[in-house]
Structure 1
Amino acid sequence: MTENSNLLHRRNNIIGAARFWLCTFLLALTFPLASRAQDTGYISGTVVDKSGSAVVGAEVVIANTSGNFTRTTSTNTDGAYVIAGLPGGTYNLTVTAKGFQKYSARGVVLEVAQKSRIDVQLTVGAVTETVEVTGEAVAQVETTSSDLTNTVTGKQIDNLVLNGRNFTQLVNLAPGVVSQTGQDDAKVGVYGNVAYSMNGGRTEYNNWELDGGDNMDNGSNATLNVYPNPEAIAEFKVLTSNYGAQYGRNGSGTVEVETKSGGATFHGSGFEYLRNEFFNAKSWEEGADPTAKKAPYKKHDFGYTIGGPIYIPNHYNTGKKKTFFFFSEEWRREKNPHTTGLVNVPSDAERTGNFSDLCPASGDFFRTNPNDKSGNPVLPPNTSLFPDCPATGKGPAVTAADGTQAQSFAPFVGNQVTADPVGQALLALIPKASPGLTNNGFPAVLQTVSLPETWREELIRVDHNLTDNYRLTFRYIHDSWQTQTENPLWGNGTSFEDVNTEFVGPGTSFVARLNANISPTLLNEFVASYTADHIFLTALHNPPLPSPFPMGVLFNNGQGGKLPAISLGNNLSYGGGFSADTGYFPWNNANPVYTYRDNMTKIVGTHTMQFGVYMAFAQKNEQNSPYIQGILTFDSSNTSIPSTGNSFADLLVGKVAQFSQVNLQAKYYNRYRIVEPYFQDDWRMTQRFTLNLGLRLSLYGTYRERYRHAFNFEPTAFTGGGSPVIDDGTGPTGQEGAFIPGPGNPFNGIVQCGGSGGVSLIPSLVTNSFPGATIGSGNEANTESLEGSPPYSLNASQFNVNGYTNIGGGGLLFPLGVSSVPNKAIWPYVQQWHVDVQKELPSHFVGTVSYVGSKGTHLSQQRNLNQILPVSSGNPFAAGQPITSADCDSLSSSGQLANGTAVTGQAATDLGVACGNDPNPSRPLNGFGNITRLED
C-alpha cells in the first residue's frame, strides 16, 4: 500500500467516524425519546386490591441484583405500569402504596428481549409490613407473546464445554435449529461460520445482533464481524419463529446477544484452554512414514474479564450506583497442521524432459487396447500399454475385422522432450517428488505444514445512569485476527502447499444506547451501531515472474509480477491431474454498516404498543479477484493441438489447451440502504388472553455500485448479431444495449403483518421479507455479484495454442462469462406459523410442545442461461456407458467411436466438448460463456 493510499485510508476512516457520530447525534435529537432495543425486554402488569380495583399511583421499583440498575415508575389510572429497556438479568421488584402492605418479588429472572408480566394484588395494611414472593413463584406460562424463542443463559454459557469456544454453537440448544457449519472445531474471525438452519429456513436468512446493533457480514450473511468472548456474554435469545414487528430485515431466525455489564462490586475471571500434539496420536499419513514426526498442533486460548463500578472515593459515584464498566480481553495462539495427502507429481527425470519411465525402450506404442463389437481386444492380450507416454504424433493403426481400431503412437526420440524456457520456469510451481515415496506406483509428494493463527479481542462496556430513569450504554469490541492458509485462499484451486496466504481480518463493533422512562406509561430507547470487518490477503512464497519470460499474453498488464497459475488434466501417473495456484493477491475487502433504531413503548389501557423505525446504511468495498497473470490449462486428451498425450509434457513444450487472463483488478464500492418503520400492539384482552398485532413496512433501497463500475447483462436485449469479439486487445465489441450500468430498483415497499393469540394455545401467522436473500445471500446476491463484469473488467481466453510465444495471436475467442440480476427486484419472503401448547409443571418447570411451519415464496436461485442443449437423437451411448479416451482419439481421427460406431451432427459436437473441445461455440448465446442469472 502506498503512502498516498495509506493517507486516503486514514482520511476515509476519520470521515466515516465523523459521519457516524454526527448522524448519531442528530438522530438522538430527532428522537429524544429513545426506544426499546431488540435485545432488551420489559416488565409490565397491573396493581389491584383484593376487590380487583385498580390501585392508582402505586410506586413500582425494579432493581438489578448486581446493583447497577434501578428504575422507578408509578401506576396509571388503570393501575397499569411498564418498565422497558431492561437488559436480561435477575431483578427485585417492589410495589408500595399508601394504606397497603409492601409487595416484594425477589429474584425475578428476565431473559434477553423477554416480555414479562407481573400482576400484583396488594393487601390492606401498614406499608411497613411486607408480602414477599420469590422469582420462581411468579414464573408463568407465556401469555403475553407468541414468539417462539429459546434463551441461552449465562450459566449455560459458563458451564457447557464448547469445542472451539464459539458462542454461536449454543444456538443448537434451541429446538428446530440444525447446524450446517461443517465445523466440529468451531472457528472465530473470518473463518467463523453461522450456517444454522432455523425451522427449515435458509442459513443466510438469519439475523444476528449484538447489544441491539448489527453484527452480520453483509457480503455473505454467513459469518459475523466480531465473536465476543463467551466469558463476556450475559445471555442470548434465539427467536426461531413468528416474532414481533420490531424484528425485521431478514426472514428466518433472529439471535439477540447481550454482553455483560459491571455491577456495584468488582468481579473478574481468568481462563486458559489448551491443546498440544503431545496429547495426540500420529495421523495415518504420519504413521505411514516411520521417520515422520507428529505435526505441531498447538492451541492456547487465554484471557480475563473484570467489571465493577467507576468511582473516585469521596468525589464521584461514592454510592456506586451511577457508572459501571466491564472489560474483557482474550488471546488465541494456534498452530494447525495441514497436509496435502499423497499427490502424484512428475519424477525428477521427467522434470528434465526424460519420459523413459513412462515409455517403451523403442518403437511405436499403444495407449489403449479397445474391444471390438464382440467384446474381444483388438491387440493381443499380452500387448504392453503406455497410456501416459508423450508422442510426437500417430503411428499406424491396427484394425479388427469389424473395423474397430487400436491406434499406435510415435514417441519422442530417446523419449526426451525439449523444454521451452517458459515450461522450465513453470517448474517452480511444482514440488519435487519426496525421495522413495510413491502413490499407485508413481512418484508422489506429501506436504505437511503447521501454520500459525493468532487472534486477540478487546471488549469494553460502560453503563451510566444519568438518572433513575435514563441510562446510557457504550460498548466497543475489536477483534484482531491473523492467520496463514496452506494455499491461495478462495482461489483457482491447488494441489500443493507452496504458495501460502497471509490472511489478516480485523473486526469492529460499536454500540451506543440511550434508555429513557419518560413517564409511567411512556418509554423509549435509541440505539446507534457501527460494525465492520476487513480482509487483507497477501501471498507468501509465491515464485516471482522471471525476466525474461517469453510468453505471450492477452492483456499487457504486467501480470502482477507473478507466474501464471497452471492446471494439468488426466494422466494416471499424475493422479488424474494436479494444479498450482499463484493467487489474485494482494486483495482487500471492507463492509462497514451503520444502523440506527428508535423504538417507543406506550401503554394505553390494556394495549402495550411499540412503534419505531430501523435504518441501515451498508457498504461493501472490495476488489474483484482476477487472475491478471492468467491461467494455463493443459489437457492430455485434447485432440485439437494435438496434445502429446501427457499434460506435463505439454507444459514443458508449450501445447496449451487454454489460456485465460483478466485485464485488470478493479475496486468496487457497493451501497444499499434499508428503512423499516413498524408498529406492534400487544392487546391484553383478558387476564389470560393477549393478541399480538404488528405491521412493518420494509423499504429496501437500490443496490448500487458508487462509481457505476458494475454492469448487468440483460438477456432480453441480446441479439445474435451483437456477439462480442476481441477488438485488437483494446476491449470487446458487441451489442452495448445488453449491458446496463448498475442494476437497481427504487424503494420497494414490503408489508409485514402478524397476528397471534396466546393463552396456552397460541395460533399465529407472520410474514417476513428481506433483501438479498439468495444463494450466496447478502450483498453478494446484488451488485456484488456483478463485480468483475464486462465491459469494465474483461476475461479473455485463447484455446489450443501451440507454443507459448503464440499466445495472443490467432484463435483468440472472447466467451464473456457474465452475471445477470433482475432490473426490478422481486423480494423473497417467508411466512411462518406455529401452534404451541404450554403447561406449568411441578418445580416451576414449563413444558412446551410446538408445531412449526414455514413457507418461502420467490426464493432466489441461480440458473445458467447459456448451457449447451442436450440432444437425444444420435446419442451413441447407452445409459451409464462411459466415454473413454479411446473414443475421443477415434472421434478426432475418424468421426466414430473406438468400437466403430459413427457419430454425426449435434451429437458429434457435444461429444467433442465432452472430450475437451471448447464448449463456447456450441452455446445458444454465441460469443458468451456461462451466463449466471439470479431469479426467483
Structure 2
Amino acid sequence: MSKSRHSSPLSRLLFLLLSGPAAFAQMTVTGTVVGTVTDPSGQVVPAAKVTLTSEKTGDSRATTSNEIGAFNFVAVPPDTYSLRVEHGGFKTFQRTGVVVSANERVAVGDIQLQIGAVTDTVTVEAQGAMVQTDSAEHSAQLTSSQLGNLTARGRDVVSLLRTIPGVQYQADQDSVGGSFGTSTPNIGGVSNSNNILAVDGVVSNDLGTPATFSSVTTLDAIGEVKVILNSYQAEYAGNGGAVVEVVTKSGGKDYHGSGYWYVRNEDLNANDFFNNRTNVPRPEYRYNTFGATLGGPIYIPGKFNTQKNLLFGFYALENWSIRVPGALTQYTMPTASERIGDFSQTLDTNGKQIVITDPVTRAPVPGNAIQKSRLDPVALLNTLPLPNFTSRAITGGNYNYQIQEVLNDPKRSQLFKFDIVPSDKDRFFVRGKTWLAQQNGYAVAAGAKPTGFFAQCYCFTESGLSIGWTHIFTPTIVMEATAGIRHNHEAWYPVGGQADLDKVLRSAVGFTAGQWYPQSNPQGIIPRFSFGTSLPNSPDVTFDDRFLTGGTDFTFSFNDNVTITRAAHTFKLGVAVYRLREYEGERSKFDGTFNFQKDTNNPFDTNFAFANAAFGIFDSYTESNARFGANERESIAEWFAQDTWKVNRRLTLDYGMRFSWYNQMYPRYDGQQSVLTLDLYKTSQVPLFYQPAIGPNNVRSAKDPVTGQFLPAAYIGAFVPGTGNPAPGGVLSGDKNYPRGFVDQQPVLYGPRFGFAYDPFGKGKTAIRAGASILYNMRLTKWSQTTENPPAIFTPITFYGNLNSFLQSTGVLAPSDTNAYNRQNKTPNNYNITFGVQQDLGFSTLLDVSYLGVFARHMPQTLALNTVPYGARFLAQNQDPTSPGKPLIDNFFRPFPGYNNITLTDNAYSSNYHALLLSLNRRFAKGLQLGLAYTYSKYLDYAAISCTSCTTNIPVYRPLRSWIYGLDGSDQTHNVVVNFTYQAPNVSRLLPNPVVHHLLDDWQLSGIAQFVSGTPMPIGFTTTDGADLTGGGDGQRVNIVGDANAGSSTFYHWFNPAAFARPGKGDPGNAGKTSVRNPGVNNWDLALSKSFPVSGEKRFFQFRWEAYNAFNHTQYSGLNTTARFDPAGTQVNPLFGQVTTTRAPRVMQGSLRFTF
C-alpha cells in the first residue's frame, strides 16, 4: 500500500484519540467476529460480501473479504447473529446461531464456498462454543442459559463465578448485595482486591473496599458475564487480577419480559447441626423477592420507529423484603433502684452483696444506698434499657437483660437501558441503574452497642449512568467511545427519627457536664462509656467513630478506542482515564469516652462500676481534639496500542503495550490527615515520659522527671506536658516538603502483552494458546486510616476524676498508634503466564486444559514496626524499679520511642500461584447444558492469615521466609465444580394427551455440585499461667512434635492434638505459617422446575423449587485451633481440634415466574 493510503486513517485516528474530552476509563463490552473465505480448493476468495445480522434486533453490518480472504467485524455488541457470505459464481453461505460475547474474539474459521448460483443458499447452524483459534486470552463466560437456570441462593451473580476454573470457593450470600456490596472471591491466584468488576464497561468496585462489587446488578437484568482470567490484550486495563465484565440485557425487535416471586421461610429449611445437638429450634428466616423485566422496541405505530429498528428499551425492577433474627445478646443493665443510687439489692455472681464504698470517706455507704444529694445529676445510666429478665435461678447473676431482634432489611434494584441505532454506521446505548440496601435495627453495620440501646438505619445507595457510542467510519475503521459515572453513598440514620435521635443527644438526656473540644461535636452526641470486665456482660456504650455521618465515592470514566483492519492485521489504539473521589465520614473520639470500671488503684473507686457512674466517678476519660473525614482523590491515565496479526491461517499473534500513569490517592484538604515519616523521625524530639517511682505514703506513682511532681501510677509512660514533640516525624497532608500522596510519584508504567493462538490442523477444532503479560495494581492505596493519626488529631487522657470537675484538666498525651508508609513504595505488579490447549470434542462440547502462573511482586503488606525485640522485657535495664520481677511497659524501650504501635505499609512482598485449569463446557443444545471446572493449584505468599491466638504477621525480627512464606489462607488444592441443566423430553410425544402434556411435559432439572479442599490454618496457643515466654518479638508458635494428620478426622479430633507442644522460654516455636487444614466442601444445589405454556411456547408460567445443600449433608467448616497449655506443658483445652462451625443446612426456595 502507498504512504497516502496510510496517512488518512492514521490522521483520523490521532484526531479521534486526542480530541476527545479529558476523561475517564472503562472497558468496551463488544466482541469481534473473524474468519476466512475460501473456495472448494482451499484458495482464498477476496471481495466476497460478508453480512452479520443480529437475530434479536435485525441490525446488520457488511464488509468484504480482503486480499487474503479474511474478514473482521469489530465492536460487535453481545448477541446471537447470522453470518451471510456472497460471491459471484458461488452458492450463498449462511451460518446461524453465532454467539458473540463481551470482549470475545469469535473465530468462525474457514468458510468454504461451494460452486453454484448465488441465489442458492447453504445454511449451517452454529453448534456449541467455538475454539478460540484467533485469540490468546484465557477467558470464560456465564451464558444467558446458565444465568437463567443455575442456582444461587441470594440470586447474586458473584455466586455463579464459582462455575469457572480458577475461582476460589466462597459460600452463597443469603441476599443479593449484602450490606454495601458483594465480596468477590480470589480469582486465578490473585487477591480479590485486584479484581476488576465492571457493568457495561464501567468499573464497579467499591473504592473503600475494592474486593467488593458494590454496583449490584440482579440476575434478571444480566445478559451474560465474561471473565478474562489471564493473558488479555493491551486494551484491557486490568488491576493485576481478573476482569469480570457484566453485560446487561437489551431490548430487541420483539417484546420480552417477566414477572417473578421468590420466597424462603424457616419452615422450609432443615435445622442447623449444632441447633439439633442442643434442641434449639430453627430461627426465623424470611426472604421474599419480587421482580419484573420488560424489553422491546420503543415505537409509535405509523409515526415513530415503525420498522422497530431505531430505538429499543429494557427495564428491570427487583424488590427484596427480608426479616432475619440477630444473635441472642445478654447484658447486665442497671436496675431501676441502682439508677437512683439504691444498691441494697446488688449482688455479685455468687449471690453476695456488693458493698459500695464512699469515694470521699472510703467507708461503706450506709444501707448501700447513695444519698440523692450526692448522685451525679448528669448520670448516664438512664440512657440504658431497663432489665427485662431477672430470674437469677436462670441467669446466675450474669445478666438481667436479653434481646434478639429481628432485622428488617429491604432492598431495591432498578435498571433501564436504551439502545439507539440511527443509521447503519452508528449505535448508541444509555444505561442507568440504582441500588438501595437498608439495614434497620440495632445490630446494623457499624451500629451502636449495646444491642437495644440505639436503633439505626445503615442505608447504602448506588447509582450509575453509562453511555456508549460505536461509529463505523468504513468497514475497516471503527470507533468505540464510552462514558460513565458511579456514585456510592452510605449513611447512618435513627430509625425512629427525632425520637430515637434524642436518646443520644446531650440536651435531650440531660447530660450537661460539657467536654474539652465541643467544636468537634456540634450535634451534641453523648459520650461513650464503659464499665470494665468486672461487670459480667457489661453494657458498654460504643459506636463507630463515624457515628451518624456518612460516606460517598464517585468514579468518573470515559474511553475512546479505534480499530483499524489492514490485511492480516487488526490494530487497536485507545486512551482511558479514571477520576476517583472518595469520602469516608468524619471520625474520631469526638464525643469523649468515660470508663467507669472498678479499679482498686483509683482513690475514688466505689467498688462497683454502676456506683462509680452514679457518683460520677470515672477511671479514665479520653477525647479527641478534632474530627476529620477522609476526603481523597486519585487520577489514572492509560493508553495502549496493540495488534492481532493473522500470520497465516493457522497462527495468530497478539501483542501490544499498555502505558499507565497515576497519582497516588491523596487527601484533598491540608492538615486533616497525617502519617509518620521515618526519614524525619528523631529520637531527640521525643517528649519525656512520666517515670515509675515510689511516692508519698509509699505508693507506686508516676513521677514528673522535670518537676518531681507525683501523679497516680496510671500516668506512667505518658508524655510530660511541655517537653518534646508529641508526634515526632509526623507529616500533615499538604506539607509542601513531602509528596501529597505520602509516597513518591511513580513514573509511567509499561505493561507489555504477548500471546499466540495456533491451530495445528487447520480445521478450527484445536488451538494451542499461550500468553504472557505484566499488569499493575494502581488502586490499592487509600488514606482513610490516617485521619486519626497524630499530629492531625491528638486524643489526650485523664485518670481518676469526676464528672463535675474533669473539665479543669485538659488531660495528657501518651504514645499513640500511627501509620507509616515506605516512601519509595513501588506499584504492585503481576507477571502472568499461561499455556493451554482447546479442543472441540463434538457434541457441542469444548475442552480447555491450561497451566496458569501468576507471580505477584511489590505486594503491600503491613508490619508492626515498633515491636520490641525478643528478650527485651527480660533485660535488667528494662525492669520496673517499683514492681520487682516486672518489666516496664513496652513504650519505654520500643525501637521508635514516642509511639505505641506503628503499622508500616511496605510494598516489598510477593506471591506465587501455579495452577492446572480444566474446563469442559457444553452449551445448551438438545436439552442439555453441562459444565465442569477443575482447578489443581498451589498458592504461596508472604501474607498473614486471620486466626485466634496465633502469630502469622510479617516479622520484624524472625527470618522472613521461614516465618511467613507459605500457603495462602485461601489456598484450595482441589476445586471441582459441576453445573448442568437438563430439559427432560416431553412425554406427550410418546403419549399425545392433554393431561400428559400438562403434567409430564416441560420439566427441567439444574444444579451446581462443588467439591473443594479445605483451606490451611495455623495453630495458636495460650497458657494458663499467662507467662511471657519471649520477652517481646514477633510472637511465638507451638512446637510440632508429631504428625498433625495422624489418625482419621472426626468431629472431636479433626487433627491430632498431641502433635503440638508448648514452647519453652525464649523458644519462638518451630511451626510454620500453617499446620492443618479446615474441612472441605461437599455440596449439591439443585433446582426442579415445571413450565406451563400459555398460547404457545413463548409465553409460560414456571414453578421452580430450589434446594441448597439439597441432601442436607452436614459440612463441617471451622475448627478450634487454639491449644492451651499449663506450666507443665499439658494441653488442657478439651475443645482443641474439635469442629466448631458447620456450613448452612438445607435451605429451600420456591418461585413462580411468568415469562413472555
TM-score bracket, shorter-length normalisation: 0.7 to 0.9
Q: How far apart in 1 are the matches of 2:106 and 2:355?
A: 78
1:325 matched residue in structure 2: 313
User: Residues 860 and 582 from structure 1, CA distance in 2 versus in 1: closer, same or farther, beyond 3 angstroms?
Assistant: closer
Letter in 2 for 1:134: E
Q: How far apart in 2 are the matches of 1:510 and 1:550?
A: 48
1:236-282 per-position Cα deviation (integer Å, ceiling 9, x unaligned): 11122222222224111110011111111111110111234565799
User: Residues 387 and 160 from structure 1, CA distance in 2 versus in 1: closer, same or farther, beyond 3 angstroms?
Assistant: farther
1:239 matched residue in structure 2: 228
Q: Name the stretch that deviates more: 633-642 or 117-126.
A: 633-642
Within the candidate set 563, 569, 574, 2:526 is matched to 563
Report how far residue 718 of structure 1 moved. Answer: 1.7
Report how far residue 518 of structure 1 moved. Answer: 2.5
Q: How far apart in 2 are the matches of 1:922 and 1:550?
A: 41
Matched, 1:134 2:90: no
Report how far residue 570 of structure 1 moved. Answer: 1.8
Pairing of 1:143-292 with structure 2 (within 5 A): 143-180=133-170, 184-188=173-177, 190-276=179-265
Matched, 1:597 2:559: yes
Pairing of 1:534-549 with structure 2 (within 5 A): 534-540=489-495, 541=500, 542-546=503-507, 549=511
Within the candidate set 570, 573, 581, 1:611 is matched to 573
User: Residues 284 and 75 from structure 1, CA distance in 2 versus in 1: closer, same or farther, beyond 3 angstroms?
Assistant: closer
User: Residues 554 and 36 from structure 1, CA distance in 2 versus in 1: closer, same or farther, beyond 3 angstroms?
Assistant: closer
Consecutive unaligned residues in structure 2, runs of 5 or more: 1-14, 688-717, 735-739, 759-766, 908-1156
Q: How far apart in 2 are the matches of 1:343 and 1:445?
A: 5
Q: How far apart in 1 are the matches of 2:850 and 2:277?
A: 52
Report how far residue 783 of structure 1 moved. Answer: 3.4
Report how far residue 574 of structure 1 moved. Answer: 0.7
2:770 matched residue in structure 1: 763
Pairing of 1:485-504 with structure 2 (within 5 A): 485-487=441-443, 489-490=445-446, 494-504=449-459
Q: How far apart in 2 are the matches of 1:807 and 1:518?
A: 75
Within the candidate set 407, 410, 423, 1:451 is matched to 407
1:398 matched residue in structure 2: none
Contact 1:423 1:651 in 2 (8 A): no
2:645 matched residue in structure 1: 683
Report how far residue 527 of structure 1 moved. Answer: 0.8
Matched, 1:812 2:812: yes
Q: How far apart in 2 are the matches of 1:184 and 1:656?
A: 44
1:480 matched residue in structure 2: 436
Report how far residue 354 of structure 1 moved. Answer: 5.3
1:466 matched residue in structure 2: 422
Letter in 1 for 2:389: S
Q: How far apart in 2 are the matches of 1:175 and 1:270?
A: 33
Report how far residue 500 of structure 1 moved. Answer: 1.9
Letter in 2 for 1:45: G
* TM-score calculated relative to the size of structure 2: 0.66
Contact 1:920 1:929 in 2 (8 A): yes
Contact 2:85 2:94 in 1 (8 A): yes
Report how far residue 55 of structure 1 moved. Answer: 2.0
1:46 matched residue in structure 2: 36
Consecutive unaligned residues in structure 1, runs of 5 or more: 1-24, 361-366, 368-383, 394-408, 774-780, 877-890, 897-901, 911-918
Q: Name the stretch that deviates more: 333-342 or 588-597.
A: 333-342
SS at match of 2:506: coil
1:635-684 per-position Cα deviation (integer Å, ceiling 9, x unaligned): 44674658555444444444534322223333443111111111222223
Within the candidate set 671, 674, 677, 2:633 is matched to 671
Matched, 1:866 2:866: yes
2:380 matched residue in structure 1: 425
Q: How far apart in 2 are the matches of 1:927 and 1:227?
A: 45
Q: How far apart in 1 are the matches of 2:356 and 2:768?
A: 76
Letter in 2 for 1:466: P
Report how far residue 552 of structure 1 moved. Answer: 5.7
SS at match of 2:647: strand
Matched, 1:312 2:310: no
SS at match of 2:62: strand
Report how far residue 134 of structure 1 moved. Answer: 1.1
Contact 2:26 2:557 in 1 (8 A): no
User: Residues 284 and 797 from structure 1, CA distance in 2 versus in 1: closer, same or farther, beyond 3 angstroms?
Assistant: farther
Q: How far apart in 2 are the matches of 1:638 and 1:93?
A: 86
Letter in 1 for 2:683: G
Letter in 1 for 2:741: P
Q: How far apart in 2 are the matches of 1:637 and 1:148?
A: 63
Report how far residue 69 of structure 1 moved. Answer: 2.8
1:122 matched residue in structure 2: 113
2:899 matched residue in structure 1: 928
SS at match of 2:380: helix
Letter in 2 for 1:543: V
State percent identity of aligned pairs: 25
Q: Name the stretch that deviates more: 513-522 or 582-591.
A: 582-591
User: Residues 808 and 80 from structure 1, CA distance in 2 versus in 1: closer, same or farther, beyond 3 angstroms?
Assistant: farther
Contact 1:796 1:816 in 2 (8 A): no
Pairing of 1:94-105 with structure 2 (within 5 A): 94-105=84-95
Letter in 2 for 1:462: F
Q: How far apart in 2 are the matches of 1:651 and 1:26?
A: 71
Q: How far apart in 1 are the matches of 2:189 and 2:342?
A: 58
Within the candidate set 58, 65, 72, 2:62 is matched to 72
Contact 1:765 1:832 in 2 (8 A): yes
Q: How far apart in 1 are the matches of 2:773 and 2:423?
A: 38
Q: How far apart in 1 are the matches of 2:528 and 2:293?
A: 47
* TM-score calculated relative to the size of structure 1: 0.80
User: Residues 47 and 421 from structure 1, CA distance in 2 versus in 1: closer, same or farther, beyond 3 angstroms?
Assistant: same
Q: How far apart in 1 are the matches of 2:683 and 2:515?
A: 28
Q: Give the total of aligned pairs.
A: 832
Contact 1:35 1:515 in 2 (8 A): no
1:112-144 per-position Cα deviation (integer Å, ceiling 9, x unaligned): 22111123122222101112211118x543222
SS at match of 2:182: coil
1:710 matched residue in structure 2: 673
1:732-755 per-position Cα deviation (integer Å, ceiling 9, x unaligned): 866577445332544532111222
Letter in 1 for 2:54: N
User: Residues 555 and 267 from structure 1, CA distance in 2 versus in 1: closer, same or farther, beyond 3 angstroms?
Assistant: same
User: Residues 580 and 129 from structure 1, CA distance in 2 versus in 1: closer, same or farther, beyond 3 angstroms?
Assistant: same
SS at match of 1:156: helix
1:299 matched residue in structure 2: 287
Contact 1:345 1:433 in 2 (8 A): no
Letter in 2 for 1:544: L
- RMSD of aligned Cα (Å): 3.9
User: Residues 253 and 638 from structure 1, CA distance in 2 versus in 1: closer, same or farther, beyond 3 angstroms?
Assistant: farther
Whose helix fraction is larger, Structure 1's or Structure 2's? 1
Letter in 2 for 1:672: E
SS at match of 1:136: coil
User: Residues 798 and 70 from structure 1, CA distance in 2 versus in 1: closer, same or farther, beyond 3 angstroms?
Assistant: farther
Report how far residue 108 of structure 1 moved. Answer: 1.2
Report how far residue 444 of structure 1 moved. Answer: 3.2
SS at match of 2:46: coil
Pairing of 1:890-929 with structure 2 (within 5 A): 902-904=884-886, 907=887, 909-910=888-889, 923-929=894-900
Contact 1:631 1:659 in 2 (8 A): yes
Q: How far apart in 1 are the matches of 2:285 and 2:600?
A: 44
Contact 1:189 1:225 in 2 (8 A): no
Report how far residue 426 of structure 1 moved. Answer: 3.3
Contact 1:782 1:821 in 2 (8 A): no
1:212-237 per-position Cα deviation (integer Å, ceiling 9, x unaligned): 12222222113334212211110011
Q: How far apart in 2 are the matches of 1:267 and 1:870?
A: 70
Report how far residue 455 of structure 1 moved. Answer: 2.3
Report how far residue 530 of structure 1 moved. Answer: 0.8
Letter in 2 for 1:545: R
